């Protein structure tokens, strides 16, 4: 489930051992992977380089990174990236030498990039081409997974809905959730429209535990124009020397962190939020990204995609102050897995942003996400092969007769969209960068009302892709709210005004949310 870097890497690993079906809601290229700009972090210069990458990952995670997972990431990463290059991925070079840049919280330049600021698109292109050439892999594009079917205590099949509204059920020896994150749970996000947390919600409904759901990373620098979506302005801009300035044109990061603009993302995002707060409730001030002083770098050549988008709004990196604000970007939590992608439900595996191994702790190190997909996608596939259980026979006929046919109705569709918008706005207002008990309780009130509306609409209209997404967003929102209420401290991307300090004695542990909604804390 999912055709980003984790899903495709797993599919390639599995394809020589049986039939693989890759299911994706839109065209194969439409994933969070495709939109990743900055690059892929990888230590390819030997043991010292690997050790430093590990140290940076641990430091960025604010005391909560599961060390064994981070060791797997940085040690296996170089092999996976070299493998990717052998399969056709073209990273930027100069005179044959791989170019590397530096991003926030990295101790040295180790970020490989492609076509300037289109690294994810290049990785996606190469993996898709490699996968399509394999006769063992079939793609089901424009198809939504609407349910996981269990038999004898394990996931044994999936319910699918195609773009024509046809339902079918496909049995499987194993199911891998690699459907990415859930940025669309917030009104302001850098994520594409497909990032609605479907895989996470389906796994939880099937009984899988979730972990660290309170830790949603807000990227510090998304384009902040009333007429524009929250387009990502890559961390690599600050890696190339960009400053952050407030509405008085002052650099301000020295007040927040010694690494200034290259501080960890959670620190920079909160700093921008605070600098953008006005003197009165509801008032806001503009914060800017400034590259006008950067010399020796052809900014249009280095960042062609970003430059093209800014051109639409009459802005240029080399000439203008660019208005920015944080936006929901990456979920550190997800379906709880071990280091081989196994969830708490037999037959169900997860990898990539949909999974939580603890590798990112409370705050992901910049550009570790693409590497995570490569490394843990491959590991999940190998674990599936090692287990090798016989598939459980399930009914291959149409899905249950009690599911009403979807009845497209403009009024119902408008009600559904209005409900999703209320949920997104509520999550941004009450469970965003700065949280406290009162706002989180209000967030729960909004979520419960929206979930009830979605259930009513489902009973009237039946299942559709958008209905499935609405159900997923409601489920993910509740998991975030429950976990955020339970963690009464501030750590990494989770900041509470009413508990502003880190509390290692009680909370240097991972939150685990079970299918009945209970949240406990465990040391891994």
Residue 124 has pLDDT above 60, yes or no: yes
Q: Do both 184 and 46 map to the same domain?
A: yes
Q: Do both 318 and 371 map to the same domain?
A: no
- Both tokens of residue 325? 């604000």
Instruction: Report if residue 509 sits inside a domain.
Output: no
What is the per-residue pLDDT across 142-152, written as a single tens digit (0 to 9) for each?
999 999 999 99
Identify the pLDDT of residue 85: 95
Q: Do both 232 and 372 map to the same domain?
A: no
Identify the pLDDT of residue 104: 79
How many domains would you assign to the chain? 3
Residue 401 has pLDDT above 50, yes or no: no
Q: Do both 92 and 238 map to the same domain?
A: no
Question: What is the arithmetic mean of pLDDT over 100-119?
Answer: 87
Residue 97 has pLDDT above 90, yes or no: yes
Decide if 485 contacts 437 (C-beta within 8 A): yes
SS (H, E, C) 482-503: HHHHHCCCCECCEEECCECCCC
Q: Which residues of 403-425 are buried (b: 16+ CB within 10 A; e: fewer)?
A: beebeeeeebeebbeebbebbbe
Name the domain boundary from 325, 342, 360. Answer: 325
Identify the pLDDT of residue 102: 85
Q: Do both 4 and 151 map to the same domain?
A: yes
Name the domain boundary from 403, 420, 438. Answer: 403
pLDDT band at 399 (very low <50, low <70, confident <90, very high): very low
What is the per-residue pLDDT across 232-264, written as a single tens digit (0 to 9) for each?
898 889 989 999 999 999 999 999 999 999 998
Q: Do both 31 and 148 map to the same domain?
A: yes
Q: Do both 181 and 114 map to the same domain?
A: yes
Name the domain boundary from 325, 344, 379. Answer: 325
CATH number at residue 23: 3.50.50.60
Instruction: Report if residue 516 sits inside a domain.
Output: no
Which residues, other chains included, contact 390 with Cβ-Cβ below 8 Å and sequence gap of 6+?
173
Instruction: Report if residue 505 sits inside a domain.
Output: no
CA angle 450, 407, 148 (to 5 degrees): 65
Residue 139 has pLDDT above 80, yes or no: yes
pLDDT band at 279 (very low <50, low <70, confident <90, very high): low
Q: Do both 252 and 317 map to the same domain?
A: yes
CATH number at residue 279: 3.90.700.10
Instruction: Report if residue 133 sits inside a domain.
Output: yes
Known active-site residue 292: no
Residue 203 has pLDDT above 60, yes or no: yes
Instruction: Report if residue 502 sits inside a domain.
Output: no
pLDDT band at 397 (very low <50, low <70, confident <90, very high): very low
CA distances (Å), 439 to each of 267, 373, 444, 447, 494, in order? 21, 34, 9, 12, 14
Nearest alpha carbon to residue 381 among 175, 160, 159: 175
Percentage of the chain modeled with pLDDT above 70? 94
Instruction: Report if residue 517 sits inside a domain.
Output: no
User: Dmax of the chain from CA atoms?
Assistant: 67
Q: Which domain holds residue 456?
A: 410-462+464-497
Q: Do both 97 and 180 map to the same domain?
A: yes
pLDDT band at 284 (very low <50, low <70, confident <90, very high): confident
What is the per-residue pLDDT across 407-449, written as a single tens digit (0 to 9) for each?
668 899 999 999 999 999 999 999 999 999 999 999 999 999 9
Average pLDDT along the chain: 92
Percentage of the chain modeled with pLDDT above 90? 84
Question: What is the arithmetic mean of pLDDT over 466-478?
Answer: 98
Among 23-37, 310-324, 372-386, 423-437, the least confident range: 23-37
Exposed/middle/buried for residue 347 (C-beta within 10 Å: 0-12, 13-18, 19+) = buried
Which of 9, 102, 265, 325 is labelled catalytic?
A: 265
Q: Do both 277 and 349 map to the same domain?
A: no
pLDDT band at 501 (very low <50, low <70, confident <90, very high): very high
Q: Are strands 348-350 and 175-177 parallel, antiparallel or unpaired?
A: parallel
Identify the pLDDT of residue 390: 55
CATH number at residue 455: 1.20.58.100
Nearest alpha carbon to residue 36 among 179, 177, 191: 191
Higher pLDDT, 29 or 296: 296
Q: Do both 148 and 276 map to the same domain?
A: no
Instruction: Report if residue 127 sits inside a domain.
Output: yes
Q: Are strands 154-162 and 143-151 parallel, antiparallel or unpaired?
A: antiparallel
Identify the pLDDT of residue 209: 98
Q: What is the DSSP string of 41-101?
A: E---S-HHHHHHHHHHHHHHTTT---HHHHHHHHHHHHHHHHHHHHTT----EETTEEPEE
Instruction: Report if residue 36 sits inside a domain.
Output: yes
Q: Do both 45 and 145 map to the same domain?
A: yes
What is the per-residue pLDDT across 287-345, written as a single tens digit (0 to 9) for each?
999 999 999 999 999 999 999 999 999 999 999 999 999 999 999 999 999 999 999 99
């Amino acid at each position: 489930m999912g055709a980003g870097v984790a899903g495709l890497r797993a599919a390639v690993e599995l394809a020589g051992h049986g039939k693989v079906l890759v299911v994706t809601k839109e065209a194969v290229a439409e994933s969070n992977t495709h939109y990743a700009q900055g690059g892929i972090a990888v230590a390819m210069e030997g043991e010292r380089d690997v050790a430093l990458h590990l140290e940076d990952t641990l430091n960025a995670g604010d005391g909560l990174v599961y060390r064994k997972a981070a060791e797997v990431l940085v040690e296996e990463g170089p092999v996976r990236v070299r493998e990717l290059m052998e399969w056709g991925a073209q990273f930027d070079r100069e005179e044959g030498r791989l170019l590397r840049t530096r991003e926030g919280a990295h101790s040295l330049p180790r970020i490989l990039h492609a076509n300037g600021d289109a690294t994810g698109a290049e990785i996606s292109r190469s993996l898709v081409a490699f996968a399509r050439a394999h006769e063992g892999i079939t793609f089901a594009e424009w198809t939504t997974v609407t349910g996981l079917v269990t038999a004898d205590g394990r996931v044994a099949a999936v319910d699918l809905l195609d773009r024509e509204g046809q339902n079918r059920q496909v049995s499987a020896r194993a199911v891998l959730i690699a459907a990415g994150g859930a940025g669309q749970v917030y009104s302001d996000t850098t994520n594409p429209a497909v990032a609605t947390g479907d895989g996470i919600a389906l796994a939880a409904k099937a009984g899988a535990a979730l972990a660290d759901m309170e830790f949603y990373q807000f990227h510090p620098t998304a384009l902040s124009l009333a007429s524009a979506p929250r387009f990502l302005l890559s961390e690599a801009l600050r890696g190339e020397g960009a400053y952050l300035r407030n509405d008085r044109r002052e650099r301000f990061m020295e007040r927040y962190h010694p690494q200034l603009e290259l501080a960890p993302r959670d620190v920079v995002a909160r700093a921008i939020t605070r600098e953008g707060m006005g003197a009165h409730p509801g008032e806001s001030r503009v914060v800017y990204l400034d590259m006008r002083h950067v010399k020796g770098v052809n900014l249009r050549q280095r960042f062609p995609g970003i430059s093209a988008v800014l051109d639409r709004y009459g802005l240029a990196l080399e000439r203008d102050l660019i208005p920015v604000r944080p936006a929901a970007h990456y979920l550190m939590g997800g379906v709880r897995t071990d280091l081989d992608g196994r969830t708490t439900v037999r037959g169900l595996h997860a990898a990539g942003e949909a999974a939580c191994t603890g590798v990112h702790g409370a705050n992901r190190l910049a550009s570790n996400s693409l590497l995570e997909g490569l490394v843990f996608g491959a590991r999940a596939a190998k674990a599936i092969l090692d287990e090798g259980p016989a598939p459980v026979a399930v009914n291959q006929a149409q899905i249950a007769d009690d599911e009403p046919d979807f009845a497209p109705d403009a009024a119902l569709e408008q009600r559904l969209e209005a409900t999703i918008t209320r949920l997104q706005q509520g999550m941004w207002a009450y469970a965003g960068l700065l949280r406290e008990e009162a706002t989180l309780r209000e967030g729960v009130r909004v979520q419960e009302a929206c979930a009830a509306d979605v259930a009513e609409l489902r009973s009237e209209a039946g299942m559709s892709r958008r209905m499935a997404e609405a159900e997923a967003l409601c489920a993910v929102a509740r998991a975030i709210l429950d976990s955020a209420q339970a963690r009464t401290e501030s750590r990494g991307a989770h900041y509470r005004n009413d508990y502003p300090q880190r509390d290692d004695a009680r909370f240097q542990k991972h939150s685990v949310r079970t299918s009945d909604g209970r949240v406990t804390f465990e040391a891994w």
